[in-house]
């Protein structure tokens, strides 16, 4: 037989809600307030880990040096090309690059850094344990390790040394390419030790007497690897685009090593510049020496011819015999001589340009014998050759920098060739003109003996060769002087300087990150737990999903684990604990929301919510207010109350007619541990519980009890398990729906609202059970199971309580104020 109040549990639907940021903030604040111990613990742990991490990090110090790039003439910033040279290159479609960037690239080149590493022996590192980390030994180290074989590209070795005394030491824990070599022995200083990386010996550098036992770790890297490691620690940059200043910054774990690195780098850089300049002077000297040898041989031949001519013709002095006649001829001869010398130099230079077309070879500079414009072009060409030779070891031939320089060299070489060729043609015309003038004068001097003219030709050749020879000797001295006085065109503005305090690690940042992580971890854990947790956690969940009143919040009782949950009766305790106060608030709320709440039914959605616990203690607390109270166990399937309070004939016996008088099924006060509460047990389990509860005798029973008692508390079955609760609700004035915090899913709340809207359960009010402040410590239900048909219910046992707190915040006058607002 079906009943109209039978509850068919509808499908649970999840409703989409808009994000309530204020609620999120409140939830986070509440979580922080409840879980502050976990936050404090996490912050302390992460703070300690951050502190240990910071202590373990090596202290890094920074040193900076500033240099100024000067031009060859000593003027600042003149490393950029002159305007006339730029104009010449721009005509060929080439723009002069930023030379300062080239110098920065050279300063950071592997070639220069490798020379620094080799000079300072930085491929071998010495360190000792200092607290949690390692400290580097640089100058003040007790010994020096010398490796007799250069390291290969992938060859690294590490070993430890125990200092024993001034004569011997112990070497152990030798690792070659990260493999243990199993070497452990005591060796004398200076004695060679065979290792996979070659022989090595140690030289003592200080007196070890009285020194505490110390273990020194020696690490040797390939020069290439060490070079790249130290190269990564160096940074160079311009102060600004308008200046010629370069700032060199180096960071290292040893202050002295950082200073030495920058100082040696500047020395190596200056040496590199001077070597480049010397290559130009040396090339010029080689050219001059070769020309001196050739001109010297020619001069000797001419002078020999003149001597033989005089001897053959018995001539001593031509000057006296033809002084007056040859005075004018001398003037013409000087003009022709100058033209011939300049022509010879120009032809030599033209031959050199034709025979030496390599891009990496400089052109000799002959300042006094060629046009000034050509001299300037040759000077700028040599600068470009020098710069290309300096960049070539570190830059590929197809790199943009090398392509740019090659284009400049080709354009400049072509311009020089064209200028020299034009100069040669001009000088040839000038020499031809001088010869014609002399021939014309010789015609006039036809009276001069032919012998004198022949001698004059020989003497003229002698003078030309002699003048050229003297010029080359002077140039050789100038080149030798230039080699002696060449210097780098840089000036040190600031020597390596820096603060005594380290620049890394950043202690405050590390600690701040540690504290942030300490806050983030519990925040993330609780946030994820909150989003994954779909259980009802408090009043707000009920109020957000329904318009039902929450008239009671029963906190967890710390002593509930001593008894079964449904056995727990605390409302009779004379002491005022938090649970008792919560039931007092429930009693007051029950009388406040409705004036006539004589029959109160307690139910829940599923077993394990605590309805038996609430109904029993509610009856007890009502009785303590001098009310006549009777508790009815209408859960005739499970009969939990009856098993604990009295299990003789009861409700079912009355409903099926076995007992006709109400007094026979009532266990009077004092007959149970409920003291002032009368009790009607469920009786024997009938075969048809639902049909039995639908009998009119149940209505008659309730009507009879209304006349005898102030409150009738009915403990019935879970509403969504069987139809009994819906059947019993027809006689109830008020339905208390028990929801256990942390057990009931929030997705059920819309269903509860529909139960109220459809009047399947009358006058529903919600009672939250097992409320806790700490979301980590909630308990999951107590034992409750049902069997109907041929299916047996399940049993689930768990404790009911831990310490509860903050009742005054949960059960405040604000609760009643909200109830009043809803009533109105």
Q: Which range, 306-320, 325-339, 799-813, is most confident? A: 325-339
Residue ranges with strand state E in 458-509 = 490-497
Nearest to 237 by CA among 249, 224, 222, 252: 249
Q: Please, which pLDDT band fits residue 367 given cuts at 50, 70 and 90?
A: low
DSSP state of 792: P
Instruction: Please report the DSSP string for 645-666 in residue order.
Output: H--SS-HHHHHTTS---GGGT-
pLDDT at 801 over 80: no
Half-sphere exposure of residue 763, counting CA atoms within 13 Å on the CB side?
20
Tokens of 89: 């290159």
pLDDT at 202 over 50: yes
For residue 702, the model assigns a pLDDT of: 94
Question: Please, is 524 exposed, middle or buried when counting C-beta atoms within 10 Å of its C-beta (0-12, 13-18, 19+)?
Answer: exposed
Residues 221-265 have pLDDT tens digits of 999 999 999 999 999 999 888 788 999 999 999 999 999 999 999
Residue reference for tokens 């060729």: 421
pLDDT band per the 50, 70, 90 thresholds, residue 494: very high
User: What pLDDT was estimated at residue 80?
Assistant: 44
Judged against a pLDDT cut of 90, whether residue 267 lies above it is answered with yes
Q: What is the CA radius of gyration of the chain?
A: 55
Q: For residue 36, with 0-12 CB atoms within 10 Å meaning exposed, 13-18 middle and 19 or more buried, which class applies? A: exposed
Residues in the chain: 824
Amino acid 803: pLDDT:
35
For residue 54, cis peptide bond before it (omega within 30 degrees of 0): no
Phi, psi of 709 (to 5 degrees): -125, 155
Find the mean pLDDT for residues 521-529. Answer: 87
In this model, does residue 30 exceed pLDDT 80? Answer: no
Q: Which of 148-157, 573-582, 740-749 has the lowest mean pLDDT?
A: 573-582
What is the per-residue pLDDT across 422-456, written as a single tens digit (0 to 9) for each?
Answer: 888 888 888 888 888 777 777 656 545 666 667 77
pLDDT (0 to 100) of residue 9: 43
Distance CA 586, CA 570 (A): 14
Residue 65: predicted pLDDT:
95
pLDDT at 798: 34
Does 529 score more than 70 pLDDT?
yes
Half-sphere exposure of 359 (CA within 13 A, CB side): 18
pLDDT of residue 377: 81
CB of 57 closer than 8 Å to CB of 504: yes
Q: How far is CA 385 from the centre of its chain?
A: 44
Please compute the mean of the pLDDT values over residues 516-537 and round it to a whole number. 87
Range name among 267-276, 313-322, 489-498, 806-815 with the lowest pLDDT average: 806-815
Q: Where are the alpha helices (DSSP H) in 598-693?
A: 611-623, 640-645, 651-655, 689-693
Max mean pLDDT range (91-95, 160-164, 242-246, 344-348): 160-164
Provide mean pLDDT across the span 145-169.
87
In the DSSP assignment, the letter for residue 759 is: T
pTM over 0.75: no
Name the band, by pLDDT with cuts 50, 70 and 90, for residue 750: very high
Kindly give, in sequence order, each residue whose CB lies less than 8 Å from that of residue 169, ignoring residues fewer than 6 positions away. 143, 161, 162, 163, 186, 187, 189, 202
Average pLDDT over residues 16-43: 77
Is the pLDDT higher at 19 or at 400?
A: 400
Range scoring the smallest mean pLDDT among 173-177, 554-558, 733-737: 554-558
3-state secondary structure of 271: helix
**Rounded Cα gap, residues 528 and 523, in angstroms:** 8
Please choose, from the candidates 468, 758, 715, 506, the residue with its C-alpha nearest in 3D space to the C-alpha of residue 599. 715
CA atoms of 314 and 412, how far apart (whole Å): 55
Cα–Cα distances in angstroms (integers) from residue 528 to residues 25, 522, 534, in the given order: 15, 10, 11
Phi, psi of 351 (to 5 degrees): -65, -40
Which is it for strands 629-633 and 711-715: parallel, antiparallel or unpaired?
A: parallel
Report CA torsion sign: 465, 469, 475, 479: positive
pLDDT of residue 474: 84
Tokens (6 digits) for 135 = 């400290």
| 50-59: average pLDDT | 90
Give the pLDDT score at 572. 60
pLDDT of residue 816: 45
Per mean pLDDT, which range of 291-305, 610-624, 784-798 is the poorest? 784-798
% of the chain residues with pLDDT over 90? 34
d(CA 592, CA 598): 13
Residue 810 reports pLDDT greater than 60? no
Strands 245-252 and 61-69, sheet pairing: antiparallel
């Amino acid at each position: 037989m079906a009943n109209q109040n039978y509850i068919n549990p509808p499908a649970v639907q999840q409703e989409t809600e808009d994000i309530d940021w204020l609620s999120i903030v409140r939830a986070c604040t509440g979580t922080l307030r409840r879980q502050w111990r976990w936050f404090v613990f996490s912050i302390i742990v992460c703070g300690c880990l951050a502190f240990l991490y910071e202590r373990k990090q090596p202290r890094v110090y920074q040193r900076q040096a500033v240099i100024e790039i000067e031009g060859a003439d000593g003027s600042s910033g003149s490393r950029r090309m002159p305007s006339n040279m730029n104009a010449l290159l721009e005509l060929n479609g080439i723009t002069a690059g930023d030379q300062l960037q080239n110098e920065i690239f050279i300063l950071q080149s592997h070639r220069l850094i490798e020379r620094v590493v080799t000079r300072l022996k930085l491929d071998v590192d010495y360190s000792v344990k200092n607290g949690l980390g390692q400290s580097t030994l640089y100058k003040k180290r007790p010994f020096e390790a010398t490796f007799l074989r250069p390291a290969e590209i992938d060859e690294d070795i590490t070993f430890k040394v125990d200092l024993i005394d001034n004569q011997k030491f112990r070497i152990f824990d030798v690792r070659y390419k990260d493999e243990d070599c199993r070497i452990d022995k005591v060796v004398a200083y200076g004695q060679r030790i065979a290792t996979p990386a070659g022989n090595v010996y140690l030289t003592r550098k200080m007196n070890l007497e009285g020194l505490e036992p110390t273990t020194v770790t020696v690490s040797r890297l390939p020069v290439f690897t060490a070079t790249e490691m130290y190269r990564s620690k160096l940074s160079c940059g311009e102060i600004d685009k308008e200046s010629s200043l370069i700032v060199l910054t180096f960071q290292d774990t040893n202050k002295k090593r950082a200073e030495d690195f920058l100082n040696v780098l500047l020395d190596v850089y200056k040496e590199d510049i001077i070597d480049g300049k010397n290559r130009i002077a040396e090339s010029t000297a080689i050219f001059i020496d070769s020309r001196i040898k050739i001109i010297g041989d020619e001069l000797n031949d001419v002078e020999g011819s003149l001597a033989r001519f005089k001897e053959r013709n018995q001539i001593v002095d031509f000057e006296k015999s033809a002084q007056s006649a040859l005075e004018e001829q001398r003037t013409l001869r000087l003009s022709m001589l100058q033209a011939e010398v300049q022509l010879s130099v120009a032809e030599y230079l033209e031959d050199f340009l034709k025979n030496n077309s390599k891009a990496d070879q400089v052109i000799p500079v002959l300042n006094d014998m060629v046009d000034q414009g050509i001299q300037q072009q040759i000077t700028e060409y040599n600068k470009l050759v020098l710069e290309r030779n300096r960049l070539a070891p570190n830059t590929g031939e197809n790199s943009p920098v090398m392509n740019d320089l090659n284009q400049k060299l080709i354009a400049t070489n072509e311009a020089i060739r064209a200028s020299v060729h034009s100069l040669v043609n001009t000088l040839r015309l000038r020499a031809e003109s001088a010869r014609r003038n002399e021939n014309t004068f010789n015609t006039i001097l036809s009276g001069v003996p032919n012998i004198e003219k022949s001698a004059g030709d020989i003497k003229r050749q002698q003078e030309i060769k002699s003048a050229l020879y003297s010029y080359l000797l002077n140039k050789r001295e100038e080149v030798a002087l230039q080699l002696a006085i060449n210097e780098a065109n840089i000036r040190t503005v600031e020597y390596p300087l820096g603060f005594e305090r380290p620049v890394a690690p950043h202690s405050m940042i590390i600690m701040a990150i540690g504290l942030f992580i300490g806050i983030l971890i519990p925040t993330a854990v609780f946030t994820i737990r909150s989003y994954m947790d779909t259980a009802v956690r408090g009043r707000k969940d009920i109020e957000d999903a329904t318009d039902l009143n929450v008239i009671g919040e029963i906190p967890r009782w710390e002593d509930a684990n001593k008894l079964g949950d449904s056995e727990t009766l605390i409302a009779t305790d004379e002491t005022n604990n938090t649970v008792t106060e919560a039931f007092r608030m429930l009693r007051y709320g029950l009388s406040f929301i409705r004036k006539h709440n004589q029959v109160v039914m307690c139910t829940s959605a599923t077993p394990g919510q605590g309805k038996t616990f609430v109904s029993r203690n509610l009856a007890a607390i009502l009785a303590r207010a001098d009310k006549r109270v009777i508790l009815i166990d209408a859960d005739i399937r499970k009969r939990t109350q009856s098993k604990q309070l009295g299990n003789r004939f009861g409700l079912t016996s009355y409903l099926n007619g076995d007992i006709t008088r109400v007094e026979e099924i009532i266990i009077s006060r004092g007959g149970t541990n409920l003291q002032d509460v009368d009790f009607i047990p469920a009786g024997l389990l009938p075969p048809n519980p639902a049909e039995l509860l639908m009998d009119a005798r149940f209505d008659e029973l309730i009507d009879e009890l209304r006349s005898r008692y102030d409150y009738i508390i009915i403990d019935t079955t879970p509403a969504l398990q069987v139809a009994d609760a819906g059947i019993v609700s027809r006689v109830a004035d008020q339905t208390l729906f028990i929801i256990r915090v942390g057990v009931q899913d929030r997705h059920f709340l819309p269903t509860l609202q529909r139960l109220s809207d459809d009047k399947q359960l009358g006058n529903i009010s919600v009672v939250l059970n097992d409320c806790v402040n700490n979301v980590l410590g909630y308990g999951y239900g107590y034992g409750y199971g049902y069997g109907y048909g041929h299916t047996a219910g399940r049993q689930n046992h768990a404790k009911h309580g831990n310490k509860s707190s903050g009742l005054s915040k949960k059960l405040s006058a604000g609760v009643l104020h909200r109830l009043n607002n809803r009533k109105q």
